[in-house]
Amino acid sequence: MSPWKKKPAPTPVCCIRPILPCIAATLMCISVFFLFLQHSPHLPHHPVPVTIQASCDVSRGKWVRSEQPPRFRYNYTCPFHRNSWNCVKNRRKGIEEINSWTWVPEGCGSVGREEGILGFDPAMFLRRMKGKNIGFIGDSLNENFVVAFLCSLREGDGGAKKTKRRNSWRGGYFPKFNVTVGYHRSVLLAKYQWQPANESKHSGDTDLKGIYRVDIDVPSDDWINATTFYDVLVFNTGHWWGFDKFPKETPLVFFRDGKAIIPALGLLNGFQLVLSSMVQYIEREVPRKTMKFWRTQSPRHFHGGDWNQNGSCLFKKPLKEDQLDAWFEPANNGINKEARVLNKLIWNALQGTDIKLLDLTHLSEFRADAHPALWLGREDALSIWGQDCLHWCLPGLPDTWVDILAAQIIQQLDKGFEV
Ligand SMILES: *[C@@H]1O[C@H](CO)[C@@H](O)[C@H](O)[C@H]1NC(C)=O
Ligand SMILES: *[C@@H]1O[C@H](CO)[C@@H](O)[C@H](O)[C@H]1NC(C)=O
Ligand SMILES: *[C@@H]1O[C@H](CO)[C@@H](O)[C@H](O)[C@H]1NC(C)=O
Ligand SMILES: *[C@@H]1O[C@H](CO)[C@@H](O)[C@H](O)[C@H]1NC(C)=O
Ligand SMILES: *[C@@H]1O[C@H](CO)[C@@H](O)[C@H](O)[C@H]1NC(C)=O
């Protein structure tokens, strides 16, 4: 019997008590010692590293608008772009506005400044990471993240090349610093396979076209043999766990030890089981010296209907803090409640592990204005998919995710973390 099966089964979704906000706050509380200023309108072109000796929570704060025109961190020619998120190329209306807001974490004051501003010096970061590799594993929201990361890093090494190592879906190599960044597409993290329904069987499920078999205890082929290659790993899974991806005619059916779990699990119970079993796999199989992060859910901003009901996100400004609960609090049962619902289960699954939670949800909840919306780079995309109020424009919000991830990696290195 494998050691990771000894943990008690997770509490079913229905029995989870509301997580105390303080637990989340503790997990999210992050001390940032080194922040690199950039982006700020009054700063020179080259970022100035500033030491911040303050303990602060980078996941809490506010968006501050700069009056100056934004300086994009990278342009539309970055070879790592994915067309549908390349909002400058797709002439997304308001792309300048989107990039004129800066996330200012609260209580992160710096010497001679009222407020700390996150920023990122790509060359300095790459120098610190010399000879090391960074992997992202998960769904398209992690892909959105990695594209921002690759394009940001490229500003520190113009010789960056596309590469697909270790079964990665996309990635880049930075030759000046011998750094590889890879993205492994694994939407559920666990292995899953399509199995068509058997015609001969008259089971009564006449609508059933087949099932997606999910082996909750087996990582998907995309990353199972990649983990030892990386010194830093960033995991996520989330927005595939819904009935629009897996309706009742083609449901997810969960297997453990090669056998179907009976009685069959609902989506959220399956999500919990997969989370706990993937977390245990990571704890067991990924080397201890590897820095591990799990990023929280990216919120959606469909307004006036879901993605397939003409939902839209043509907002000109970020939401106000007092609007967020109406949009996202599960008790309000809005169409975008998914992020907070899944986050609670993610927080639970990470308790007591050495995987660091990267809380990107709250700061992203404000940014209803920052999705590609109808500017998708393809004429027919809108009629097929509706507006994209799920992924994010690049350059844009995910660049702030990059700042936070980079600051955390540097912080761990400064603490003597040997990668
Ligand atoms: C885009 O950025 C690169 C640097 O990353 C620069 O060399 C290039 O000239 C820029 N192109 C345009 C059209 O601004
Ligand atoms: C580049 O980094 C890898 C580790 O990722 C190492 O094995 C290799 O020797 C390095 N190559 C050079 C030329 O430094
Ligand atoms: C159909 O039958 C095959 C062979 O017995 C089996 O492996 C597969 O899981 C069945 N499909 C479904 C949807 O039950
Ligand atoms: C992973 O590595 C094992 C052992 O080398 C090998 O048997 C297996 O086929 C590999 N799996 C994939 C998906 O590459
Ligand atoms: C979406 O908008 C189109 C065009 O206005 C309309 O024909 C269609 O019925 C709408 N769909 C829904 C689900 O509201």
- Answer whether residue 284 is part of any domain: yes
Q: Is the CB of 211 under 6 A from ligand 3?
A: yes
- Whether residue 376 is contained in a domain is answered as yes
- The 10s digit of each residue's pLDDT in 206-235 is 689 999 999 999 999 999 999 999 999 999
Q: Could you give the 3-state DSSP secondary structure of residue 383?
A: helix
The closest ligand to the CA of 225 turns out to be: 4
pLDDT at 48: 38
Task: Let me know if residue 419 belongs to a domain.
Answer: no
Residue 381 predicted with pLDDT over 50: yes
Task: Tell me which residue range forms the domain holding 22.
Answer: 3-414
Rounded CA-CA distance 334/317 in Å is 20
- The enclosing domain of 296 has a CATH number of 3.40.50.1110
If you take atom 2 of ligand 3, which residue's CA is the nearest one?
198
Digit-coded pLDDT (tens) for 114-131: 445 677 899 999 999 999
Report the residue among 306, 309, 310, 382 best suited for mutation to probe ligand 5: largest number of ligand atoms under 8 A from its CB.
Answer: 310
Q: For residue 222, which atom of ligand 4 is closest to its CA?
A: 13
The reply to whether ligand 3 has any atom less than 6 angstroms from the CB of 278 is: no
In a domain, 400, yes or no: yes
Ligand 2 centre distance from Cα of residue 183 (Å) = 19
- Distance in angstroms (rounded) separating the CA atoms of residues 396 and 373: 13
Residue 287 counted as domain residue: yes
> According to the model, what pLDDT value does residue 57 have?
83
Assess whether pLDDT exceeds 60 at residue 10: no
pTM of the model: 0.86
Residue whose CA is at the smallest distance from ligand 5 atom 4: 310
* Average model confidence (pLDDT) across the chain: 86
Measure 79 CA to ligand 1 centroid, in angstroms: 11
Residue 184: inside a domain: yes
Helices 397-414 and 140-154, packing angle to 10 deg: 70
Determine if ligand 2 sits within 6 Å of the CB of residue 12.
Answer: no
Residue 252 predicted with pLDDT over 80: yes
Q: Quick check: helix, strand or coil at residue 388?
A: strand
Return the amino acid letter for 162: K
Ligand 5 center to residue 311 CA distance, Å?
Answer: 10
Ligand 5, atom 1, lies closest to the CA of 310
The total number of structural domains in the chain stands at 1
Neighbours of 247 (CB within 10 A): 11
For a mutational test of ligand 3's pocket, the pick from 193, 198, 246, i.e. the residue with the most ligand atoms closer than 8 A to its C-beta, is 198
Q: Quick check: CB of 155 below 6 Å from ligand 1?
A: yes
Secondary element (H or E) of residue 292: strand 291-295
Does residue 211 form part of some domain? Answer: yes
Token duo for residue 153? 């890093």
pLDDT attached to residue 240: 95
pLDDT at 55: 64
Residue nearest to atom 1 of ligand 1 (CA): 75
From the CA of 235, how far away is ligand 2's center (Å)? 24
Which listed ligand is nearest to 285 at the C-alpha? 4
178 CB within 6 A, ligand 2:
yes
183 neighbors 170 (Cβ within 8 angstroms): yes
pLDDT confidence tier of residue 320, bands split at 50, 70 and 90: very high
On whether residue 351 sits in a domain, the answer given is yes
Question: Which of 17-31, 122-136, 342-356, 389-403 has the lowest average pLDDT?
Answer: 17-31
Run of H or E including 272:
helix 267-285
